Amino acid sequence: MATEKFELFYTTASFLLGAITSVISGYIGMYIATRTNFRVTYLTATGRTDSEAFQNAFNAAFKGGCVMGFFLVSLALSILTVLIIVFHEFLQPDVTNYKIMFEYLAGYGLGGSTVALFCRVGGGIYTKAADVGADLVGKNELGLKEDSPQNPATIADNVGDNVGDIAGMGSDLFGSFAEATCAALVISGSSNELLIDANFMFPLVLSASGILVCVITACFATHIMPVTRQDKIESTLKWQLIISTILLTPVIILISLILLPEKITFPKVGESSNVHIMICVLSGLWAGLIIGYFTDYFTSNAHRPTQRLAIACKSGAAINIIHGLALGYYSCVVPIFAICATLLASFKLAGMYGISMAALGMLSNLAISLAIDAYGPISDNAGGISEMSELPESVRHKTDALDAAGNTTAAIGKGFAIGSACLVSLALFGAFVTRTDMEHVDILEPICITSLLFGAMIPYAFSAMTMKSVGQAAARMVF
């Protein structure tokens, strides 16, 4: 066993590896996106027919997103697996002190989330400030077209799509994935049945199975359901989530029944089983689909909420803002119900371990979710390149059609990020409670009530600061 002076070293090594992995994930995403967007423009412009142009351009944009999605999940899973192997070799833990090794591994998720905070917030402020500034000075003051080569802010806008929607989203979801996996490992240290025969590796096997299923799912978009018309773009992307969820369901059932013991005991929770864990994972998986579907319903121009918002725009900006805010608030109702139902069922069946596995279930098709999310900025920048290259209007019309679907799918990715973050935060709290052997948390204690109110204020404070930063940066761009 390692001596106490090496304890900080192991945790620090995990933290640094998590931070480096997050940076690499964002960089690779931007690298691929910037080398795919002009290919999409070229394929759109050189298609002999509209059908060929749509199919080739869509496949290029989607495959570019797949590179980011599969690379991020595979890299995170590979590094975490290597960390477990190396720590196991150096520490030589037995069944009684596996939890110490898992505690060292928890630094991996924390490192990823620390970098993700800066990538997500910084990238988000950059992209929105550039977008708003470019539109204000170009459209309102000079009457230029969007992405006009006469507007220098267009370059900042196109860069911002990659910084915020590629690097920021990738780092954010990597942090959720790493933290959910580490939380599951820490909590598994409290169950002797999961430590015997390395059953604690089940979360990693689940994620690996998700990658294989997502590979099969991606083939549906490029080969089985080819995009040959404008009206097939959005439906093909939506079917990616549905198909991956359907295919993952029997896979989760199979690996749960084969790899997990029939009886699993957790402290303060009692006896659980492999069937209970299976239900927890499936509840997270299908809750993610519900969140994605309702996000799409409230953001897609094919459904009534967005259509009614477009009608409201005729009454002026004030009505538009009021109606849009109302839709945004209302769209949270069903996803919150889905998350609450998942939390209740998972905690009842397997305690905090069930919640962590529900979070991993929601992230089990993360590779295809990231591919869909990265598709949006790639298509958006392809349109910008066509405008700046002064290509025919027909090319811009096609890239706008690709981009319109990408805007909706980007919103779906944000829904996944927020939903999984909610489950992951509770899973991390469960890991802390399990590791510290806390008896109970009394919500009636003054310090608990005070902390809850303070915590509820923090999102509003951060929102105010980020919105103010966007406004100031956009104003300076216009000046």
CB atoms near residue 327 (< 10 Å): 16
Q: Is the pLDDT higher at 157 or at 280?
A: 280
Q: How many DSSP H helices and E strands does the chain contain?
A: 15, 2
Q: What pLDDT does residue 78 have?
A: 92
SS3 of residue 389 by DSSP: coil
> d(Cα 355, Cα 184) in Å, to the nearest integer?
9
Q: How far apart are CA 450 and CA 446, in angstroms?
A: 6
CA atoms within 13 A of residue 56's CA, in its CB half-sphere = 16
Do 262 and 272 form a contact (C-beta atoms < 8 A)? no
Highest mean pLDDT among 66-80, 166-180, 422-436: 66-80
- Supply the pLDDT for residue 4: 54
Predicted confidence (pLDDT) per residue in 306-327, tens digit: 888 888 888 888 888 899 999 8
Q: Is 61 exposed, middle or buried (0-12, 13-18, 19+ CB in 10 A)?
A: buried
pLDDT of residue 94: 67
d(CA 149, CA 147): 6
Mean pLDDT on 19-28 = 89
In whole angstroms, what is the distance from residue 374 CA to residue 63 CA?
10
Q: Please, where are the H alpha helices in 136-232?
A: 153-162, 169-188, 192-195, 202-219
Across 16-30, 152-166, 272-286, least confident range: 152-166
pLDDT tops 50 at residue 2:
no
Place of tokens 């620390």: 114
478 by Cβ neighbours in 10 Å (0-12 / 13-18 / 19+) ranks as: middle
Q: What percent of the chain has pLDDT above 70?
A: 96
Task: Tell me the three state secondary structure of residue 405.
Answer: helix
464-471 long-range contacts, Cβ below 8 Å, gap at least 24?
Answer: 466/121, 466/124, 466/125, 469/125, 469/129, 470/125, 470/128, 470/129, 470/132, 471/132
Pull the structure tokens for residue 372: 């869909």
Q: What distance, in Å, lies between the first and last C-alpha atoms of the chain?
A: 62
pLDDT confidence of residue 352 = 85
Q: What is the pLDDT of residue 95?
A: 61
- Mean pLDDT, the chain, as a whole number? 85
Q: Which of 28-37, 95-104, 180-189, 310-319 has the lowest mean pLDDT?
A: 95-104
Helix 233-259 vs helix 202-219: crossing angle, to nearest 10: 150
Q: Is 474 exposed, middle or buried (0-12, 13-18, 19+ CB in 10 A)?
A: buried
Is residue 1's pLDDT more than 50? no
β-bridge mates for residue 266, sequence order: 270
Across 70-93, average pLDDT:
87
Helix (H) or strand (E) holding 270: strand 270-272
- Judged against a pLDDT cut of 80, whether residue 394 lies above it is answered with yes
Q: Tens digits of per-residue pLDDT, 421-434?
A: 888 888 878 777 77
Q: How do the domains of the chain map onto residue ranges?
A: 4-439, 442-479
What CA–CA distance (Å, rounded) separates 191 from 187?
8
C-alpha atoms less than 13 angstroms from C-alpha of 171 in its C-beta half-sphere: 32
Per-residue pLDDT band at 84 (split at 50, 70, 90):
confident
Which tops the pLDDT comparison, 93 or 264? 264
**Which of 192, 171, 5, 181 is closest to 84 using CA atoms?**
181
Digit-coded pLDDT (tens) for 232-291: 888 888 899 899 999 999 999 999 998 888 888 877 777 888 899 999 999 999 998 898
Which residue has better confidence, 474 or 408?
A: 474
* Type of residue found at 259: L
Is the Cβ–Cβ distance between 81 and 205 less than 8 Å? no
Q: Is the dihedral of CA 316, 318, 323, 327 positive or negative?
A: positive
The whole-number pLDDT of residue 6 equals 62
For residue 319, how many other CB atoms are within 10 A of its CB?
A: 14
For residue 230, the tally of other CB atoms under 10 A from its CB is 16
